[in-house]
Amino acid sequence: MRYETAILIDFIKLNSELKRLIFEWRNSKFVASKMVNKRINLKQHLNFLKSLSHDKTRKYYLITAVMGGCDAMLGL
């Protein structure tokens, strides 16, 4: 599979829709099983995202790509 363009979206610049999507990914069975806190609520997730804007030691990005004119979410 060949990607034409990769785009990094800083977590502190996510819109509401992407914040919700990442929250759903974070609580998916597969991802949650790898986390210390197995499940979190939406308020905890939003507080985490907000904390990133004040923390210069951590950076999180959503990676997206364009494949043949179609956008695809690749991961975090």
6-23: pLDDT as tens digits: 889 999 999 999 999 999
DSSP state letter for 33 = T
Q: Mean pLDDT: which of 1-5, 14-18, 68-72 is highest?
A: 14-18
**Which tens digit of pLDDT belongs to each residue from 38-69?**
999 999 999 999 999 999 999 999 988 766 65
* Contact between 24 and 73 (Cβ < 8 Å): no
Indicate whether this model's pTM tops 0.85: no
pLDDT of residue 58: 93
Amino acid identity, residue 69?
G
Name the superfamily (CATH) of residues 5-75.
Answer: Gcn5-related N-acetyltransferase (GNAT) (3.40.630.30)
Asked whether residue 70 carries a pLDDT value surpassing 70, the answer given is: no
Residue 18 three-state SS: helix
76 within 8 A of 60, measured Cβ to Cβ: yes
Q: Are 65 and 6 in contact (CB under 8 A)?
A: yes
Q: Is 75 helix (H, G, I), strand (E, B) or coil?
A: strand
